[in-house]
């Protein structure tokens, strides 16, 4: 019998009181989480999974801890994000009212009417992370090769050009952006510098700046 099954038997007995069963259940959940295969994100610690900050500036200590475990340099740049709360709120309100004739992108997980600031940021970060070397919460994409860095810049434009995203962006104030993006070539959040995106070839609205 393996260690997990032994713990399962010993921690859950029919004679336990309700309080003991709650404690046993909590223990088993923790055991399952610890024994389950972990992604590269999760292997770096609970802060990588649990961070819910909308800006890297709100969790600089955790960001620095993550950066210390990956390679960041001129050849392996990281991208940090500061999501704009007011713009997100406007975008979400408009997204939930976009006409049904406009198809939603496959990377959005919530249907019209159920989109929230949390869900839209999580969906966008998950989509961006498909081209990144790693991810910390909602605020950091790292490490990245030069090729991955270029692909991420293209992904921002891809999101901005989506028909559904453009329709939702119409509900935002003039000049507002969903997020400000910063580049890191050193292993500290304090070294972040604003990204300079190349000029646009079309007239779609800039949502990441």
User: What is the chain's alpha carbon radius of gyration, rounded to the nearest angstrom?
Assistant: 21
Q: What rounded mean pLDDT belongs to the chain?
A: 82
Please tell me the predicted confidence (pLDDT) of residue 23.
Answer: 46
Please write the tens of the pLDDT for every residue from 71-90: 999 999 999 999 999 999 99
C-alpha to C-alpha distances, 185 to 73, 103, 182, nearest whole angstrom = 4, 38, 10
Average of pLDDT values for 107-116?
A: 96
Asked whether residue 39 carries a pLDDT value surpassing 60, the answer given is no
Please tell me the predicted confidence (pLDDT) of residue 75.
Answer: 94
Helix (H) or strand (E) holding 19: helix 18-35
Please tell me the predicted confidence (pLDDT) of residue 51.
Answer: 63
Rounded CA separation 93/116 (Å): 8
Residues 183/189/193/199 CA torsion (nearest 10 deg): 30
Please tell me the predicted confidence (pLDDT) of residue 46.
Answer: 31
């Amino acid at each position: 019998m393996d260690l997990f099954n032994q713990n399962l038997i010993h921690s859950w007995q029919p004679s336990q009181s309700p309080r003991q069963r709650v404690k046993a259940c909590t223990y088993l959940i923790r055991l399952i989480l610890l024994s389950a295969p972990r992604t590269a994100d999760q292997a770096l610690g609970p802060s990588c999974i649990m961070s819910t900050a909308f800006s890297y500036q709100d969790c600089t200590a955790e960001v620095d801890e993550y950066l210390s475990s990956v390679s960041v340099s001129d050849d392996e740049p990281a991208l940090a994000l500061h999501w704009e709360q007011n713009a997100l709120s406007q975008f979400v309100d408009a997204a939930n009212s976009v006409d049904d004739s406009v198809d939603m992108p496959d990377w959005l997980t919530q249907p019209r009417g159920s989109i929230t600031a949390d869900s839209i940021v999580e969906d966008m970060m998950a989509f961006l992370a498909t081209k990144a070397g790693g991810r910390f919460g909602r605020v950091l994409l790292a490490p990245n090769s030069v090729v991955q860095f270029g692909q991420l810049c293209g992904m921002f434009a891809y999101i901005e050009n989506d028909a559904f995203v453009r329709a939702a962006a119409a509900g935002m104030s003039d000049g507002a952006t969903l997020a400000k993006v910063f580049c890191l070539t050193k292993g500290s959040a304090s070294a972040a510098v604003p990204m300079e995106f190349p000029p646009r070839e079309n007239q779609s609205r800039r949502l990441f700046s």
